[in-house]
Amino acid sequence: MHSELEQLLVLQDRQQKIRQIQTEIKTLPFERAHLESQLAATAAGVESLKQKGRQVEVERKKLELDVGTRTESISRLKTQQYQTRKNDEFQALGHEIERYENEIRKLEDEELELMIEADRLKGEIEAADKSARATKETISRQLTDLEAKLKALGSQQQELEAEREALAAQVDADLLDQFERLFNSKGDAAVVAVEHGVCTGCHMKVTTATASRVKAGKEIVSCENCGRILYDVA
Ligand SMILES: [Zn+2]
C-alpha cells in the first residue's frame, strides 16, 4: 500500500476516536442533569409528604381548640344551671349543654380520624425518607462516576490530539488538506476501502480503471462518485 495512505489511515483512526470521545463528552451534561432532576424529584416527594403531615397536625390542633372552647362553655352553662331556680331555664340550659356535648363528640371523631391519618403519613414519610436516602446514595455515586468518566475522556482526548498532531506533521500538506476537508464533510471517513469494485464510502461501483489504479497502489486515488480517498483491501 502507498505509504502516505497508511499514514492517513492511522491519522483517520485517531481522528475517529477523538470524534467518538467528543460525542461521548457532549452527552455527559445531559446524563448529569437527568440524575440531578431524579434527585430533586425524590426530595420533593418526601417534602410534599412532610408538608401533608404538618397540615394534618395543624388541623388536629384546631379541633382540639374547638373542643376546649366548647368544654369551657359547658362548665359555664352547668354553673348557671346550678344557680337557677326556674325549671324552664334549667331545661333550656340543659339543651344547650347537650348541643355542645354533641358538637364535642363530632369534633373528637374528626380528631380521631386525623390521628389515624397522621399515623399513616408518619409511616409513609419514614418509608419515603429511607428510599430517598438510598436513591441519594446511588445517584451521588453515579455523579461521582460521571465526573471520573469526564476526566478520563478528557485526558484520553488530549493524548489522541497529541498523537494526531504528530501524525499530521508527517503528511504532505496538500494531501492533509484534502483529507481534512473530506473527513469533516463526510462525517464518517475520508479514506475508505474498495471491496469487490465498490467504494465502501458511498457504496457505488468504481470504474475498472479506478479499481486498477487503486490496486496498483502507486498514487492517491479518489472515488469518482463521492471523492473519498480509496485503498485496496485485497
Ligand atoms: Zn465513493
Residue 148 has pLDDT above 90, yes or no: yes
Cβ 70 vs Cβ 98: under 8 Å: no
pLDDT on residue 233: 84
Closest CA to 153 of 2, 18, 14, 11: 18
CA–centroid distance, 196 to ligand 1, in Å, is 13
Checking DSSP bridges between strand 191-195 and strand 198-199, what pairing results, if any? antiparallel
CA–centroid distance, 206 to ligand 1, in Å, is 8
pLDDT on residue 19: 96
pLDDT on residue 69: 98
CA–centroid distance, 230 to ligand 1, in Å, is 8
Q: Measure Cα distances from 175 to 212, 229, 234 in Å.
A: 21, 10, 24
- This prediction has a pTM of 0.75
pLDDT in tens, 56-75: 999 999 999 999 999 999 99
pLDDT in tens, 85-106: 999 999 999 999 999 999 999 9
Element (H, E) at 80: helix 3-83
CA–centroid distance, 220 to ligand 1, in Å, is 14
Grade residue 3 by pLDDT with cuts at 50, 70 and 90: confident
198-217 average pLDDT score: 96
pLDDT in tens, 162-196: 999 999 999 999 999 999 999 999 989 999 999 99
CA–centroid distance, 205 to ligand 1, in Å, is 8
CA–centroid distance, 213 to ligand 1, in Å, is 15
Instruction: State the cell numbers at 117.
Output: 391519618
Residue 229 has pLDDT above 90, yes or no: yes
Grade residue 234 by pLDDT with cuts at 50, 70 and 90: low
Cβ 171 vs Cβ 7: under 8 Å: yes
pLDDT in tens, 31-60: 999 999 999 999 999 999 999 999 999 999
Q: Strand runs (DSSP E) across 11-156, as ranges?
A: none
pLDDT in tens, 107-141: 999 999 999 999 999 999 999 999 999 999 999 99
